[in-house]
Chains A and B, each alone.
Chain A
Amino acid sequence: MRYFIGMPNRAQSKADVLQGTLDLMVLQTLATLGPLHGYAIAARLEQVSAGGLRLNMGTLYPGLMRLEQQGLVRGEWGVTDNNRRARFYNITAGGRRQLVTEKAEWDRMVSIMHALLREQG
């Protein structure tokens, strides 16, 4: 249990931003690459961000579980290339619809922030 009095500290607010965008990142990854297990998703995000984005398990797996509970992804047990049992996550039709709207929302937000920061800067 965490309690905040006043403003949350910097590290926490960073994590909050990550939490909000994690759904979008996972959905986009699954929509591009098809079914992946948890580690593959984390590895892909790390690779794309050139090591800038490292998800620990405590963030990634609860996020995946939440997406599954919301019906945006579906997890199924399967076998990896190395013959290991792993849970593969696939994006659902609802997940794709969600991705489209969230992407549009994100683009809008980015353009707003961009315009604002450039103008002020």
Chain B
Amino acid sequence: MATWREGIRRLWGTLRRNPRDRDLEEELKLHVELAAEDLRQRGGSPDDARRAARLQAGGVAQAMEALRDQRGLPWLDDLARDVRHGLRALWTTPVFTAVALLTVALGIGANAAIFTIVNDVILRPLGYPKPEQVMFLSTYNALFSTEFPVAPAEYFEFREINRSFADVGAFTTGEVNLTAGDRPLRVRAASVDEHLLNALGLQAAQGRLFARGGNGRERPVGAGRRASTGLGGDSLARAVADRIRRRINRWTDNRRRWSPPRGHRHHAACRGRDGPPHGDLAADRIESCHSEFPRLPHPFSHRPPQ
């Protein structure tokens, strides 16, 4: 209680310098004078008495120093003094200050930017229902000891042999030009098939997205979400549907040719049937994906020329 009270008073003493130096000094000087008078009364010259009194009572300056330390919080005083000194030093060297400020600003900015990415990509869960069940499917190529996106042939094969996942869909990502509005826009886009939306658990904002045509081709029905593109919802939907139709038809054509289109990478996403794919279960599923694929004619496998 008492020390708590002392802390408050000392904080106050730091801020207001209360009691004032003048009062403290007056108190100390009186002490020296009274001591000198006492000594004089016991005998001795005034000079000797004054000297003896100073000797016994100690210096006023030293006592003032101790009093100032006790009055406030010395570390806070020091801190304030250091800050003032630092600011003065920065003020006198503007170029250094500018460079230092720029460096710090760049550092903070870069960190914030990187954190934004890390937060979106790693920390925040995917924006789909039950994101822990969604998996990314890739093929492993022993020749290059690395993973590749799946080829359309592999994708369709996997769909047929799949028993581990509730659904498997495919997608490619890229950018498209939207020219439906009053000005063209370059937007990021993903071409998907009907299964992907099911696998991700997505619903169309309006209407339906796919309908099966008579010739086995998927026909996008089209529904756009009014994105922050500045385009109207309807025209955007039309434009998106148009792009999707063209991409999808190329996709189904590719399926017949059994070869991936040049420069395109196709990805597949799987959704687990039940529960999150943790630990060995997930590894099993990945293994089952990988182990089934060698049966397929692989675009990278070595074949002696005939």
Contact = CB atoms under 8 A, between A and B. Distances in A.
Contact of B58 (A43, A57, A68, A98): A57
B30 A84 contact: yes
A72 B2 contact: yes
B8 to A, nearest CB: 8
B6 interface: yes
Contacts of B30: 37-39, 84-86
Contact of A65 (B5, B32, B65, B67): B67
Interface string A52-65: 00101111011001
Interface residues of B, number: 31
B34 interface: yes
A50 B222 CA distance: 106
A69 B11 CA distance: 11
Contact of A62 (B6, B59, B69): B69
Interface in B209-260: none
Contacts of B67: 61-62, 65
A108 interface: no
Contacts of B126: none
A contacts with B: majority SS: helix
Interface in B26-75: 26-28, 30-32, 34-35, 38, 56-60, 62-63, 65-67, 69-71
A59 B47 CA distance: 25
A39 B9 contact: no
A43 B27 contact: no
B63 A56 contact: yes
B57 A56 contact: yes
Given A56-B58, A69-B10, A62 B66 contact: yes
Contact of B35 (A37, A39, A59, A65): A39
A76 to B, nearest CB: 12
A44 B59 CA distance: 21
A57 B57 contact: yes
A57 B71 contact: no
A117 B57 CA distance: 34
Contacts of A43: 34, 38
Contact of A61 (B3, B10, B66): B66
A58 B31 CA distance: 11
6 contacts: A38-B30, A43-B38, A57-B31, A62-B69, A84-B30, A94-B2
